[in-house]
Structure 1
Amino acid sequence: MTYKAEYIWIDGTEPTARLRSKTKIVADGVPLPDWGFDGSSTNQAPGDNSDCVLKPVFSCPDPIRGGDHKLVLCEVYLVDGTPHPTNNRAKLRPVAEQYAAQDSWFGIEQEYTFFKADRPLGFPETGFPAPQGPYYCGVGADEVFGRDIVEDHMDACLAAGLKLSGINAEVMPGQWEFQIGPAGPLEVSDHLWVARWLLYRIAEDHNVAASIDPKPAKGDWNGAGAHTNFSTKAMREGYDAIVTACESMGAEGKVEEHIAGYGHGIADRLTGQHETAPFDEYSYGVSNRGASVRIPWQVEVDKKGYIEDRRPNANIDPYNVTRLLVNTCCAALEKAGQV
């Protein structure tokens, strides 16, 4: 007997990578094999040396095809056996292993926008809808657009065994969010990429496009982010570690380093308006959605918990964001003896 394995990978498109996938027929009981592809068609190789290699790293049930079929997330390698330069998962692995004892947890809030006929779903053919206000967590056909797709996507993520923890309608018409986590840096990133693939694939069946553009509508409309909730064992046990982590991200050179890895077009979204802090200024505060990093009010009350980095764009590569947070915060906690 055989089954269909949908091999999924991240391409080399700049400035924001895209997902690609193709189907392999695999015999039952056989380990998932490596598989080649044409890197010259995915911005990952020249035409005269085009072969690249897919190495399976995570698989789960395929909720679209059903049965024994699988979704297979892959890392991209060169034919000499080294990770491809676009393989950001390979760059995360050694950092995650170095600080594994600190037991980092992540929860990523993926915002996205549905588009139909080149405009956000729910926008009229001419002009604009009513201003922001009623759409966030709204209900009713005049406030919410695309719920059927969102429900299908939620069911698919759960059937696939992904660590989906919730959904909600967002501030702009046609804009939604799903959350992945809590999970470690590699797991949360793997699950987010597969959840994105499922979102695009399911929206395709509805003749709608899902976009992770960080500023999908110009003007007085919220952008789309990927707020990243982060904690270590020490942070979940004490408030001093929370403060150390927050301070570490404002250290010399760290603001620029993180912003560079938090998604293309970040200056368009982090303007200091629409619940954002300016991209070139760093701040943190309790219950402050206008700060770079928010400490939830309950964390201050309990004197332990997690922080929310509000800067990452919707179009992040989560392997980059988790690597930066682990590397910066865990190194600072280790230096302070708070591990």
Structure 2
Amino acid sequence: PEYLLNQNHLVMKSIAAQLTHGIYHHKAQEWDQHGKIIAEYIWIDGTGLNLRSKSRTLPGAVSDVSELPEWNFDGSSTEQAATEDSEIIIKPCSFFPDPFRGGDNILVMCSTYRWADSEKTQLTPANTNFRHFSEPIFEAGKDEHPWFGIEQEYTLFECTNAFTKWPLGWPEGGYPSAQGPYYCSVGATVCFGRVVMDVHYRACLAAQVNISGTNGEVMPGQWEFQIGPCEGVDIGDHLWIARYLLGRVTEDFNIGLSFEPKPLKGDWNGAGCHTNFSTQAMREEGGLDVINEAVEKLSKRHKEHLEVYGLDNDQRLTGKHETCDMETFRSGVGDRGAAVRIGTSVNLDKKGYFEDRRPASNVDPYLVSAMLVSTCVAGGEHEEALVEHFRKWRTERAAIEE
């Protein structure tokens, strides 16, 4: 069909541009930086959904995060501070090789802080700094060695301009054939955006992000990548950097990217961030009993978890399209319509992990991972501060969005 030819032409044209222009030209990565490196500082802005970044020059290669200096930015332009007191401090938390610039250049995942007093003597976490509040929870549960594997779904859009977009591969102003042939598909009439997925996959590997796989999803133009296993707070760092890399890749392809949990209304699958979780006891012999105990704990705190499991998740958790409805907590073996799924192989082996299918695609991974450790391992210790900070941020956002 003509719309498919046009879509493929746009993508190939973008690839050609990427190969011949800018820093992606192979010779640009060979330019001598005379011992200096470029560090791209990355942080979550006040929306809790978007990433921001800026670059700085450092005198040489970095071997430990403690070598990275703190920095600041204009928080009044990121919905994190007022104009009259706009400075937000960014503290490096982890760093990764920069796959775009190459060499010793790095990507730096940062946490955000604001001044707590007019004398500028004390810092307090900025509005979307949930990493800060997750760390005590992970510390409380560290002896159980909590592992996470997160399945991040996303949707690609063809953009004619900044305000006009339509899912990649869909006929302009129309709809494709019903869902069925697109999941893990092969072929130009059913698979849209593979080149974007593959470049992102390789960018993650080059950046030493712990990406474990990827696949086409049920809705055409929708994809998924998996991050993990990661232990503790590392899952948040790795997933946010993977999201950053995907944003950069789609930016260079001039392809729109959405983490909305229900980007298209109607009989189309939403997008989730299914979170696989285990502790050392779950992974050992007899672990299935520990898994069942954890699922029972989750059943008693369903609403508390849903509160922080992503914005507009009610549009996705309807009981249709491989989801359990918002009001119901149900677990099952191999059941993708359950809130929590225990894999068939896990049930047979009597050990392993479980999958929490409730988180939306736009969830903050620091929140979902900390809540799972809090409920299943740490007994709620340190959770109050995390939830209180989240609720304060949501109240502020509601006022802005009115």
TMscore range, shorter length: over 0.9
Q: 2:109 aligns with which of 73, 77, 80?
A: 73
Deviates more, 1:82-91 or 1:100-109: 82-91
Greater CA drift, 26-35 or 98-107: 26-35
2:158 maps to 116
- In 1, the alpha carbon distance for the partners of 2:311 and 2:89 equals 26
Where 1:257 maps in the other structure, the secondary structure is helix
Mapped partners of 1:29, 1:201: distance in 2: 23
Over aligned residues, Cα RMSD in angstroms? 1.4
Q: Give me the whole-angstrom Cα distance separating, in 2, the residues matched to 1:74 and 1:160.
A: 16
**Percent identity, aligned pairs only?**
54
State whether residues 61 and 104 of structure 2, in contact with CA within 8 Å, keep that contact through their aligned partners in structure 1. no
Q: How far is 1:268 from its partner?
A: 0.2
Within 5 Å, give how 1:18-167 maps onto structure 2: 18-28=50-60, 31-79=67-115, 80-117=122-159, 118-167=165-214
CA distance in 2, matches of 1:286, 1:147: 31
Equivalent residues of 1:106, 1:184 under 8 A apart: yes
Amino acid at match of 1:32: L
8 A contact 1:226–1:312 mirrored in 2: yes
The count of residues paired between Structure 1 and Structure 2 equals: 330
Structure 1 segments, 4+ long, off by >6 Å, are: none
Between the aligned partners of 1:331 and 1:153, the Cα distance in structure 2 is 35
* 1:12 aligned residue (23, 46, 51): 46
C-alpha distance in 2, partners of 1:331/1:283?
23
Cα separation, 2, equivalents of 1:185 and 1:278: 29
Contact 2:75-2:88 at 8 Å conserved across structures: yes
Deviations 1:111-165 (A, max 9, x none): 0000113111011112200100010000000011111111110010000001000
Distance 2:169 2:368 in 1: 31
Shift of 1:81: 2.4
Q: State the secondary structure of the residue aligned to 1:263.
A: coil
Shift of 1:66: 1.0
Q: SS of the counterpart of 2:280? A: coil
Counterpart residue number, 2:319: 272
**In 2 relative to 1, CA 332–294 (structure 1 residues): closer, same or farther, beyond 3 Å?**
farther
- SS in structure 2 at match of 1:78: strand
Question: Mean alpha-carbon deviation: is it higher for 291-300 or for 74-83?
Answer: 74-83
For 2:134, what is the secondary structure of its paired residue? Answer: helix
The letter for the 2-side match of 1:244 is: E
State which drifts further: 112-121 or 157-166: 112-121
The residue that corresponds to 2:22 in the other structure is none
Q: Deviations over 1:40-85 (max 9, x none)?
A: 1111100110001010011010001111110000000123322223
Please state whether the residue corresponding to 1:139 is helix, strand or coil. Answer: coil
Alpha-carbon distance change, 209 to 86 in structure 1, aligned in 2, over 3 angstroms? same
Whether contact under 8 Å (1:241, 1:333) holds in the other structure is no
Amino acid across the alignment from 1:37: F
Kindly state the Cα deviation for residue 86 of structure 1 after the two structures are TM-superposed.
Answer: 1.8
CA spacing shift, 1:243–1:41, aligned 2, 3 Å: same
Matching of residue 189 in structure 1 with residue 223 in structure 2: no
SS in 2 for 1:213: coil
Distance 1:34 1:119 in 2: 40
Query: Quick one: distance in 2 between partners of 1:149 and 1:183?
Result: 24
For structure 2, list consecutive stretches of 5 or more residues without a partner in the other structure. 1-34, 116-121, 160-164, 382-402
Paired with 2:112 and 2:211, the residues of 1 have a C-alpha distance of 25
SS in 2 for 1:218: coil
